[in-house]
Structure 1
Amino acid sequence: MTLKNLNNSYKYRRIYDSKKSESLVMADSIGLKEDYEANENDTLSIPIIIQNVSNGPIQTIKCDIQYNESVLFLESVEVGNLTNGWTILTGDNVHSVTLTTTDSSISIKNESSGNIFNLHFNVTGNAGDTTAIYPENIDMANTANLHGSVLSTNKTVDINNETTVPSEDDSSGNGGSGGGGGGATGEEFENIASKHAQVSKVAAGEDVRYEFSEDDIDLMTIQFTSLSNEGQSKTSVEVLKDTSALVDSSAPGKVYQNLNIWVGNVAFNEDDMEDPVVGFRVSKEWISDNDVEPSSVVLCRYNDGEWTQLPTEVIDENENYFIYESETPGFSPFAISAIYEEEETSADSTTTLNESLEDRLKEEVENRAENESTVASGFGILLTVGVLMIIALLIRR
């Protein structure tokens, strides 16, 4: 499916192709049955409906779906009830779809109406955004390999100003496990300072890189090597005002910025990535104000109920920022944090002090034992001498 931004909308359009007979009408219409509303960060499934098939049976359907890419991100396409058992073929772009069957028993018969395929979207737009959705470049063929035309119906999707919060089970697929990145994440709307989303092409063996340059986000890059040919992958980042609602405790140390990072979609997940690396920056002013060393900054990741400090190193600096890179095994809630060195020094000092006290106590006990032994020995000698003197006096008498 070819994706284009929409500047003009229309309700119906008749599609023709050089291979089609000018007079052959394959159905009354194809498209959406109604308008839709969705919330920010929501997921949305839209069925594409064919009405009143004619000159069938139909065995091949091709089309492009047009909509505004800045408002919606297409996760996947699946067969509908009228194409159950058909084959879906995709090209280099996951949106280029052909539905076909060679089994005449499941071809779409004349006068049939229903769902021919389903579109699964993530909402990437903001409240107040709207987009038209309609199929274009429709090519339908019947079992006699004759091609014809069909009306395309145009509907819209409007984005509301609410955020859908899924159940704990729903959010774990995107959050705690570190996978996913599509749809509502479960983060509290009031805790989100800003949201950033990008889409990139992915191909097996190639490096994928997302770059962020906005002032309100200190995440700079996300990169990995793709192990799969899935066409496209999306990254979604939520810059948070405070600790993520998806975690049970705050990150260790002095937190600089809390983030939720999701990378991938239904067709492309962490199993399709190799060597993920996150690049970020930390303000030199913040480091100075909080009296921390640049080397004490780490990226912390929350996964499986606990925070983990990821391998992090300073790779560069400029006038205002130190630049870092950190290796991560997956994506979920994160925190850029500084681990104070004095905390570690204090812990070491306490341990040393305890060990010193124990040694002194042990030495004192041993000295007392020796003293008691010495006193007891001296008393015994004096007693013996006294007894001998008494015996000597008795003998003299």
Structure 2
Amino acid sequence: TYSSAGTYTVTLTVSNSNGQTSKIGAITVLQTSEPVPEPVIPVADFGTNAIQGPAPLTVQFTDRSQNTVYWSWDFDNNGQPDSTDQSPVYVYEVPGDYTVNLTVRNENGSASKTLEIKVLEAEEDKGLPVADFSANVTSGYAPLEVLFKDRSQKATEIGWDFNNDGVADVSSSTVVYVYTAPGTYTVNLLATNENGTVSKTLDIEVLKESSSGGSSHSSGGSSHSSGGGGGSPEPARNVETKELSQVYITNDKAVKFDFTKNATCVVYVSFDAKKTAGKTTTITEELKNKSALVSKLPEGEVYKSFNVWVGNSGYATSKNIENPVICFKVEKTWMEDKRIDKASIALNRYEDKAWVQLPVTLSGEDEKFLYFTAEVPGFSSFAITGKAKSLSEEATAETEPGQEIRSIEREDEKSMGEEVEQSSAQGEDTKAPGFEIVYGIACVLAVFLYKRK
């Protein structure tokens, strides 16, 4: 085996009894050949700062090609190269539609990419919109309530995508959105007018709920918040517990927010939508004491005070919804302990600095609760009240069973002796003063004389 390249001399010698002979030859060992590399083909790619605008339109082209050593730009699609710079700037002076063509080359070949540019008449353009918005927090513990405010310019329409799923969730200018699950979410605001659409994004980081429970520490300039924090004006320290429900609101559809965790006394909130609002969150807050938003409690025995907030501020009005209803529950043990009359249960709403009592309908019951529904004029601060039964009402309720017992006792007396009953009946019929006494003495005397015999 020849392990090295080179020319080697080989000698073969043979012999027998008559003598020997030899032959000489040469072996050439060549150098191992190197593998031939695959040709690297260029990839054409580029971006721009604008694809539409009024004349004169200045466009910055940014090359993103790979494996290239030569660039050729045709900005007006006339087949002639306009620039060989890697990332040129071109000014479109005349309105129209243009196809930009980038051709890149290397020693192994070439590649191309095209892009459409629309240049508008100067008088028909109001400028592309400027997408901009603010958020009161950018991170915090779940559930995290974030207040978004649109600050876009020259936009005739906006759309919010809060969870980066490519679907606009709502189109209001001010929105409170609640992130219930931990994770990092990219908020995308699309601002549109007749000249085009631009966007702005922001990342929201939602942390896992702390083990201490109830508190949500948020950054971005906001203070600690829990319970009523975020989109609620109720101070967090006065919120006992709260629950969130989220649905997608569509025009002319019945909407129902179910509170399945039973965290508060509110079972559901419903209404008929008059406008499409997209994904909307309703918050119910059960309070520790009187709401900080009211001046005093309503009359009667207060069972619970609570708040209901639907969507962002200003949404739940007669322009957007109709036939709003709240379903709530009341514990039977509370009614028994307070001697509450079931018919007196009422829902009170605080409106224009005064309490308004709303009629309720008993809709059902189970072993623990009575369930009521009430039509409400809007959503704000509420209180559930009842009235205790009066002593006369309780006495009346206790008297009726006693009358039945006395009736049974009279039946027993009748079975013991016909004579006693007749005597009683005679006494009732005569109605003469002292008759019962005289009759009693006569009976005793008769018994005495009978025994002497």
TM-score (norm 1): 0.52
Q: Deviations over 1:153-196 (max 9, x none)?
A: 7564775264579xxxxxxxxxxxxxxx9954332222111122
SS of 1:160's equivalent in the other structure is coil
Match of 2:150 in 1: 78
Figure out how many residues of one structure are paired with residues of the other and give that number. Answer: 256
Match of 2:46 in 1: 23
* Distance across 2 between alignment mates of 1:139 and 1:248: 42
Match of 1:193 in 2: 240
Structure 2: segments with no counterpart, 5+ residues: 1-43, 51-59, 61-88, 92-118, 120-126, 132-137, 162-166, 208-215, 394-453
Change (3 A) 1:228 1:76: farther
Match of 1:87 in 2: 156
Match of 2:332 in 1: 284
Match of 1:205 in 2: 252
Q: CA-atom RMSD, angstroms?
A: 4.8
Match of 2:364 in 1: 316
The counterpart of 1:160, out of the listed 204, 217, 235, is 217
The letter for the 2-side match of 1:24 is G
Residues 133, 154 of structure 1: 8 Å contact kept: yes
Matched, 1:275 2:332: no
* Distance across 2 between alignment mates of 1:203 and 1:259: 27
Matched, 1:134 2:186: yes
Residues 163, 189 of structure 1: 8 Å contact kept: no
* Distance across 2 between alignment mates of 1:273 and 1:344: 45
* Distance across 2 between alignment mates of 1:55 and 1:296: 79
The counterpart of 1:214, out of the listed 248, 261, 281, is 261
Residues 347, 384 of structure 2: 8 Å contact kept: yes
Q: Deviations over 1:285-319 (max 9, x none)?
A: 11111111222111111111111110101111111
The letter for the 2-side match of 1:225 is D
* Distance across 2 between alignment mates of 1:260 and 1:344: 36
Greater helix fraction, Structure 1 or Structure 2? 1
Matched, 1:335 2:368: no
Residues 182, 264 of structure 1: 8 Å contact kept: no
The letter for the 2-side match of 1:324 is F
SS of 2:384's equivalent in the other structure is strand
The letter for the 2-side match of 1:212 is F
Residues 200, 232 of structure 1: 8 Å contact kept: yes
Match of 1:262 in 2: 309
* Distance across 1 between alignment mates of 2:379 and 2:230: 15
**CA shift for structure 1 position 283:** 1.0
* Distance across 1 between alignment mates of 2:160 and 2:190: 16
SS of 1:190's equivalent in the other structure is helix
Output aligned runs, 1:1-397, within 5 Å.
Answer: 22-26=45-49, 59=128, 71-72=143-144, 78-80=150-152, 84-88=153-157, 90=159, 94-95=168-169, 120-122=174-176, 124=178, 132-134=184-186, 156=205, 160=217, 162=223, 183-266=230-313, 268-271=315-318, 272-342=320-390
Residues 179, 206 of structure 2: 8 Å contact kept: no
Change (3 A) 1:153 1:314: closer
Higher RCO, Cα 8 Å, sep 6+: 1
Q: Which moved more, 1:185-194 or 1:220-229?
A: 185-194
Structure 1: segments with no counterpart, 5+ residues: 1-20, 29-53, 98-117, 166-180, 346-397
Q: Deviations over 1:321-361 (max 9, x none)?
A: 1110011101111011113353999xxxxxxxxxxxxxxxx
Change (3 A) 1:216 1:136: closer
Residues 197, 234 of structure 1: 8 Å contact kept: yes
Structure number with larger C-alpha Rg: 2
Residues 228, 268 of structure 1: 8 Å contact kept: no
